Amino acid sequence: MQIKNPLGLRDDELLLTTEQVAELLQLAVGTLHTYRCRGTRGPRFLKVGGRVRYRLSDIKEYVASGGVSQIGGGR
């Protein structure tokens, strides 16, 4: 998967869409939505202009932790 970086951010600062994260983690988009709504699982996320985004560094941390959220989803 190619991730666009028009602002020249460091890789770990890149913001990913729900669809991109679902593809990376091989999860359904709906699963990520459920994780966010319940606030008990899933990688950290943030809202930018009302849209959900995930930092690549948070996705890496989530995977390294064995898929266990460190802070319950949101920031």
40-64 per-position pLDDT tens digit: 789 999 999 999 999 999 999 999 9
- 3-state DSSP helix/strand/coil percent for the chain, to nearest 5? 40, 15, 45
Note the pTM of the prediction, 2 decimals. 0.78
Instruction: Please state the φ and ψ torsions of residue 73, each to the nearest 5 degrees.
Output: 110, -65
Residue 5 has pLDDT above 60, yes or no: no
74, two tokens = 């949101």
In this prediction, residue 63 carries a pLDDT of: 92
Query: Residue 18 belongs to what H/E stretch?
Result: helix 18-25
Can you tell me the distance from the alpha carbon of 48 to that of 14, in angstroms, rounded to the nearest whole number? 13
8-29 per-position pLDDT tens digit: 656 667 899 999 999 999 999 9
Strands, sheet with 51-55, edge to edge from the N-terminal-most edge strand: 15-16, 51-55, 46-48
